[in-house]
Chain A
Amino acid sequence: MKKKRIGIIAGCAVFALLLSLSLGFLTRLVTPASNRFLWYTYASGILGEEEDSLDYVVVGSSNATAGFAPMAIYGEYGCAGYVCGETLETTPKTYLRLKEIFKKQSPKYVIFETDAFYDTQPVSNAEAAESYLETWLEYVWKYPKYHNQWKMVDPKDPFPDKDHTWTHVYRGETMNFDLGGFGETRDYMAYSTDLAPMRATCRAYFKKCVRLCRENGAEPVVLSLPCAKYWTYPRHEYVKSLAQSVGAEYIDLNCYLDAMDFDGSLYYRDDGVHLNSPGAKTATLFFASLMNEKYPGAFGASSLTDTGYEHWNGDYQKYIAEFTP
């Protein structure tokens, strides 16, 4: 009986060992060598940036990648930054992303775009929990995320050298010049005494993000880009109090639409959710000017090296060219 039990335990141990080795081998096999395929394409370009070269990083959802233009700030102030986000991103994912970013970058500011604070589509608590679990798993074990990459494995060179040098020409911004036909309205910011609380997990992870930023010497800034479809005054009020509670600056551009001469019919690429590139440029430059007013030199001298400037200047010319009819 005892012998049988020892046999079972030994068998299980061998099984676990073989399985772990196989999964480890497969993880190595399917994890992309190039940083280009590690995250959502444009976001993963940040991993290819020169070490400690970024002065600020913007994190958030598709609203951030559509509505923030790092190259516009670079052209105006010579300040290097990156917008690093993904569709439907939420703060738990942002937290894990920031942990990766801080391994290579030491930005002065981390700017949190607030669309990622709320669920765009209603999800149940169980679905949200599942999503957090998957996000966490993705961080600790790459295999489930990249499992489908086995199709791309080159049989001649199945384990190519790691290549984390790819960068995105527009630093994470998804360029788009569409006009969504959104009618001009500013009613969505009508005053209200209500508050729109965030999901508890998102709030908790935002606070963790803030702590992480400060541990790494970065100051958190909270930014709401114009978003007529989803942004509301109750959300504004709630986020304002949240930002205050962690001592972070909060700038809601939805409250400055007149000041920045924002034209919804020209600046949305869709029905009032995502900005197009002219909208992103306008909103980003206005935000930078506000920041420079409040914190002189916030978007000023860059940490770029000489070769870095060369690289960025070339990319800025391409950015300008996009605006040339």
Chain B
Amino acid sequence: MAFDSLLYLFAFLLPVYAVWLILPPARKWYALLAGSIVFYLISSPFGAVAVAVSAASVYACARALSGLDGAVSQAKGAMPREDAKKLKLSVKTQKKYIVFVCVLIQVGLLLLLKYFNFFASGVNAAADALGLITKLPELKLAVPLGISFYTLQAISYVVDVYRKAVTAERNFAKLLLYLIFFPTVVEGPICRYNESGAKLCAESRFDFYSFRDGVLLMCWGLFKKVVIANRCNMLVNTVFGDRGAYSGLIVLTAILAYTLQLYADFSGCIDIVRGTARLFGVGLPENFDAPFFSRSTAEFWRRWHITLGTWFRDYVFYPLSLSKPFASLRKKTAGKGYYADLLPTATAMFAVWTLTGLWHGASLKYLVYGLYYFAVMLLGLLVEKPAGKLVKDRDAALWRFVGVVRTFVIVNIGMLIFRADTLTAAWQMFASLFTPYAAADISEALVSLRLDSWDLIIVAVGACVMAVYSTLKVSGRKLPENGTLPGGIARAALIFVLIIAVTLLGAYGDNYDAASFIYAGF
């Protein structure tokens, strides 16, 4: 059930909202839970079992961690200091085991349901090369909806309980709601329990201003998805689907169109998600912060899919960097020069980017996509020092501009790897960028794609609107998104214009091949 579908908006969201309105403030979360369960069962009936196992294991482990913490605090006052210290150590070890088992279950489910066939094909290829007969079978498993998203939420929750950053939830239903809250389960944002868990189940009342801002955010998301992303999809699908047929200019246009499509699609979906949550009085974290204004790749990833980046930072990069093996590595490399100092960081980065790549999908191209960013960032670190000597004023306007353009080019190459069907396809398309450019090709290609000049104008204007919005955001201007746009009339006018734009200019219906939300596939 796509968020831009009539089924979602009118046959699902509207009834859920009506029930939410009717229920008393303390019971409103029942509507969200019931809606989330129905949404999940409709969208991924077979995945419900995996979600149930995941939620039950996380719940049990978190309760066990909480129980151990409680036992320690009770025993603290009642036993000698030495014994209390021993108990604390033993409990710490037990807690580590519990977290380990819990993470193992979550990752195990993810590996089994999403990655088994990918690894099996790798093992089988190796077996073939070695002349072995025994092979791993190919499993026909339905990947549960949002498994990549709720697994990360589940892990973050149990680790946060371990770290005592959050209190273990006593009510299983509330934890389940945190994991499968219907707007976030498809494409995120990947929320922490202390960000959304408590808010989802808190006592709440209808607030007109939240409702209005939620509707505005949803309309803005629909505009990005239906007006811009869906239009780009037709060009992108055709060119990427027949990679050998197009020359440099068209391939370049398709790559740029895909970058625009992915941004409009993903950020549009997140806006719809955040808008939906806001209708229910729940604030969700932002996932994008004008990423194309980034001056470096590292900055880009701090502004693009923010919740994924921060998750890997908090639950992979930092724990790895602070682990004993890394501490000893750091000791060994300390004082041996700039490049030696980079080794521990580079090793942790390698792990993060390998996982980031694989998180997107069970395919070699996603692994390469992650490693591509690792290579780019490592290169950035390696040249940082010499570059620092060459360029004195890095905040100069020209240098800032060069940084933005450079990052944009790097990101587009990444998008090519990300979108191409295979690595070979990505390479062929990259190579075709250097074939002769013929301006006439593009008009012919556009006609064959059923895109007319109006479609191009709409995409261009839509992209400009998004760029203006991002510029305002970067410059710290008041925006409807953060609830600081002045005046009810201005907001109402914006909602009005967006509804008209989406319904009239939207690429949906008979003449268009609208795409599903891209990240819903992950």
Q: Which residues of A contact B (CB under 8 A)?
A: 8, 11, 15, 18-19, 22-23, 26, 30, 125-126, 129-130, 133-134, 137, 143-145, 147-148, 150-151
Q: Are B509 and A18 in contact (CB under 8 A)?
A: no
Nearest residue in A to B502 (C-beta to C-beta)? A147
Q: List 13 A-B contacts (CB under 8 A).
A: A8-B208, A11-B488, A15-B492, A19-B496, A19-B499, A26-B504, A126-B1, A126-B42, A137-B6, A145-B509, A147-B503, A147-B504, A147-B506
Q: Please tell me if the beta carbons of B500 and A22 are within 8 angstroms of each other in the complex.
A: yes
Highest count of chain B CB atoms <10 Å: which of A8, A126, A134, A137: A126
Please, how many angstroms separate the alpha-carbon atoms of A126 and B2 in the complex?
10
Task: Classify the interface of chain A: helix, strand, loop or mixed.
Answer: helix
Query: Is residue B82 within 8 Å, beta carbon to beta carbon, of the partner chain?
Result: no
Given contacts A8-B208, A23-B503, 4 further A-B contacts (CB under 8 A): A22-B500, A26-B503, A125-B42, A130-B7
Residue B5 interfacial (CB < 8 Å)? yes
Give bound CA distance, A126 to B6, whole Å.
Answer: 11
- Whether the pair B5, A130 counts as a contact (CB closer than 8 A) is yes
Report chain B residues within 8 Å CB of A11.
488, 492
Among B6, B454, B488, B500: residue with most chain A CB under 10 A = B6
Residues of A with C-beta under 8 A to B208: 8
Are A133 and B10 closer than 8 Å at their CB atoms? Answer: yes
Cβ of B5: which chain A residues have Cβ within 8 Å of it?
130
Whole-angstrom CA separation of A19 from B1 in the bound complex: 27
Give B443-455 as 1s and 0s: 1 = Cβ < 8 Å from A's Cβ atoms. Answer: 0000000001010
Q: Verify A133–B506 contact, CB threshold 8 A.
A: no
* 10 shortest interchain CB distances as A-B pairs: A130-B7, A126-B1, A133-B6, A151-B454, A126-B42, A148-B511, A15-B492, A8-B208, A147-B504, A130-B5
Query: Given known contacts A11-B488, A126-B43, is B496 in contact with A18 (CB within 8 Å)?
Result: yes
B42 to A, closest residue via Cβ: A126
* Binding site secondary structure of chain B: helix
Q: Are A26 and B500 in contact (CB under 8 A)?
A: yes
**Given the contacts A8-B208, A129-B11, A145-B509, A15 and B504 also touching, CB distance less than 8 Å:** no
Shortest Cβ distance from B208 into A: residue:
A8
Q: For residue B395, which residues in chain A have a CB less than 8 angstroms away from its CB? A: none
Residues of chain B lying within 8 A (CB to CB) of residue A126: 1, 7, 42-43
B496 surroundings in chain A (CB, below 8 A):
15, 18-19, 22
Residue of B nearest to A7 (CB): B488
Give the residue of B454, B500, B509 whose beta carbon is less than 8 angstroms from that of A144.
Answer: B509
Give chain B nearest CB distance to A25 CB in angstroms. Answer: 10
Selected from B492, B510, B512, the residue in CB contact (under 8 A) with A145 is: B510
Q: A129 to B503, alpha carbons, bound, how many Å? A: 21
What residues of chain B lie closer than 8 Å to A129, measured between beta carbons? 7, 11
Q: Tell which of A22, A143, A151 touches B452, judged by Cβ atoms closer than 8 Å.
A: A151
**With a CB–CB cut-off of 8 A, which chain B residues contact A30?**
504
Binary contact track B30-63/A, C-beta < 8 Å → 1, others 0: 0000000000001100000000000000000000
- Nearest-CB distance from A84 to chain B (Å)? 17
Inter-subunit contact B6/A143 (CB<8 Å): no
Residue ID in chain B nearest A130 by CB atoms: B7
- B451-476 residues with Cβ-Cβ distance < 8 A to A are 452, 454
Instruction: Provide the residues of chain A in CB contact with B7, threshold 8 Å.
Output: 126, 129-130, 133
Chain A nearest CB from B209 CB (Å) reads 9
- Contact (Cβ within 8 A) A133 B509: no
Scoring B43, B488, B503 by chain A CB atoms within 10 A of each residue's CB, the highest score goes to: B503
Query: Which residues of A have CB within 8 Å of B1?
Result: 126, 130
Chain B nearest CB: distance from A16 CB in Å? 10
Min Cβ gap A7→B in Å is 9
From B6, B43, B454, contact of A134 by CB (8 A): B6
Query: For A144, what are the chain B residues with a Cβ–Cβ distance below 8 Å?
Result: 503, 508-509
B508 partner residues in chain A, CB cutoff 8 A:
144, 147
Residue of B nearest to A23 (CB): B503
Residues of A within 8 A of B6 (CB): 130, 133-134, 137
Task: Return chain A residues, CB-CB under 8 Å to B510.
Answer: 145, 148
